[in-house]
Chains A and B, each alone.
Chain A
Amino acid sequence: MSRTILDLHVLQTVPPSNINRDDTGAPKTAVYGGARRSRVSSQAWKRATRMAFDDLLDAGELGVRTKRVAELLTVRIQNIDTAIEEREAWTLAAETVQAATGSKIDVPKRKAEAAKKNGQPEPAPESAYLMFLSARQLDALAELAVEGRADIKAFLKDNKKRAKELADTRHSVDIALFGRMVADGADVNVDAAAQVAHAISVHPVENESDYYTAVDDENPDEETGAGMIGTVEFNSATLYRYAALDADLLRRNLGEGLREDEPVTQPLRRAVEAFVRGFVESLPTGKVNTFGNHTLPEAVIVKLRRTRPVSFVGAFEEPVAPGDGHVRKASERLADYVGQVEAAYGLADDTETWVLRVGPSTADLADLGTELPLAELVTAVGTATAERSAPTA
């Protein structure tokens, strides 16, 4: 079986910042190669990537993660048939989602009691936890609900399989990439096609503490002391970020050939392009207004492989020593390590590589692959992935 796996490697420097902090407010860390490193959790960066999709993809290709799934479905139901009253639509919606996902959709007890006390009508039903459904799945479920309007319970009893299928096909790009877990309906779970590692600094890092005072603007007297004092912890780091993408699984999750007028690999291509761009350009927003650490990566290496993903974090197991910054040394190390690993394991021949890099300190990475600016790199990667996954005629 021919496989298509995409590896993304990013070197990115962030100045003093605290983009991902623990419960004491300190930037997260981990020990690697015997030295303490700055760390940004994979969850934080996945969320930042998902938020970036809002600007990269059509809303119809994204999912909604909410408890208010009945209300969302109600809007769609009423769009199909304006004659359906809100209350009836709520019931239709609740029953349909329940059949499709196995999760109970009920009016939350506390909200119902509060409404009763205040003499308000009963509120809309909700799911007990966040439901992640794609816009297309919601549309399809609304149609099903309207179809069974006459006697929804009996209709769904006969059409339970259809309802399940609607919730389990045509996944949005974010669900296909990052997965979905439905606690009560494991058969509609989606395995994530993307794997994102915790970003770690290529060099040792000690967190520093910034002691600050805030002045009271309305107290102009001298010697008044501070209106407030506090500390903020921070560090600065050159991060190695890594993600792997299983293009075959992504394609299965997305479904293919959904529209007559587009090639079967078009959904895959759009998703791959959005992921590469979103992962490269996004940054978790923690304390960003305090530190203004809006940087972009110094280097991006994208590899398309046939057998297995390969992380290059081993290049930085021995921490980079401070000198002329960290990027030059990190680039040298990375270029050297990539060559060695691929030669040792015979991986070089089946790998296509693209490189984006900034400035003279990343010069060593130039020879690793085809150098392109971001927009062209994204298109090239998307095209190559789609071509590799295209059915051979």
Chain B
Amino acid sequence: MSALMLQLAGPLQAWGSAARFARRTTENAPTKSGVIGLLAAAQGRDRTQDLSDLTALDFGVRIDQPGTRVRDYQTAHHLDTDRSMPVSERFYLADAVFVAAVAGDDALIDRLHEAVRAPVYLPYLGRRSCPPARPVDLGLRSGTGVHEALESEEWRASTWYQRRLRREAAVSLPLLVDAVAGDTRADSRRDTPLSFDPLHRRYALRGVRTHTVEVANPWARGPAAPEHDPTSLLGGD
């Protein structure tokens, strides 16, 4: 087993899992369907092509820099009559950085790695108007699963963001991975793609387990502030 590490960074990204019609929302982290879609497109698969090998991969994502939510208000007009069409709202994550990992069979992961470096269809971060600002490919980690690979990955947040947290020598990052069967503390999300066929897109539920991982902050400065808990003076327990 090996893991392919992907860096998802850009001024704007959008990862919808329940977005429909005129209100297109985004989750706060990349969805499995979004990342599998990116990989399938990199390989040049058509929308109607079988995805089962990609869906079977283990998936995880780490929120290295959470970003902020942007609401985009969009109008459109009929070109012939100039009457306005229904306005739509699109939500984006601005200024976010994620590290995603997929793990599985070595040969398939190798092929995906190659595809990400020379993609057949242009890559984008959840929505076509969101091109990546950094190379997506972060390389392979052989002999590890998603969780371990994401745990040992260096912190990919932007320099300005790392410096802003310079008082923290180690930073906690949320890590969202596929839940194992029977995990009662998992959330569920409908973002496992079964088919991207535009005639009938289908998604299955996926159990998602949230962990936190600690990463070192390269910009950490001096010793951490001493432990200070004023309420301890009040005694009691």
Contact = CB atoms under 8 A, between A and B. Distances in A.
A66 B80 contact: yes
B129 A197 contact: yes
A249 B68 contact: no
**Which secondary structure dominates where chain B touches chain A?**
loop
Contacts of A313: 10-11, 133
B131 A68 contact: no
B131 A242 contact: yes
A317 B158 contact: yes
Given A244-B122, A309-B122, A186 B133 contact: no
Interface in B136-169: 158-161, 164
* Interface range, A side: 35 or more
Interface string B51-81: 0000000000000000110111110101110
Contacts of A29: 70
Given A130-B78, A311-B132, A186 B11 contact: no
A196 interface: yes
A28 B131 CA distance: 19
Contact of A31 (B94, B117, B124, B199): B94
B10 A186 contact: no
A261 interface: no
Nearest to A197: B131
A314 B133 contact: yes
Interface string B10-51: 111000000000000000000000000000000000000000
8 contacts: A3-B118, A23-B87, A29-B70, A43-B74, A189-B198, A197-B130, A311-B133, A317-B160
The 7 closest A-B pairs by CB, nearest first: A42-B129, A186-B198, A307-B118, A23-B73, A32-B11, A30-B94, A66-B80
Interface of A: 1, 3, 5, 22-23, 28-34, 37, 41-43, 65-68, 130, 186-187, 189, 191-192, 195-198, 200, 242, 244, 246, 249, 307-311, 313-314, 317-318, 345
Given A31-B70, A242-B131, A308-B118, 12 more contacts: A3-B118, A30-B70, A30-B92, A30-B94, A33-B160, A65-B79, A195-B128, A195-B129, A244-B131, A308-B117, A309-B131, A313-B10
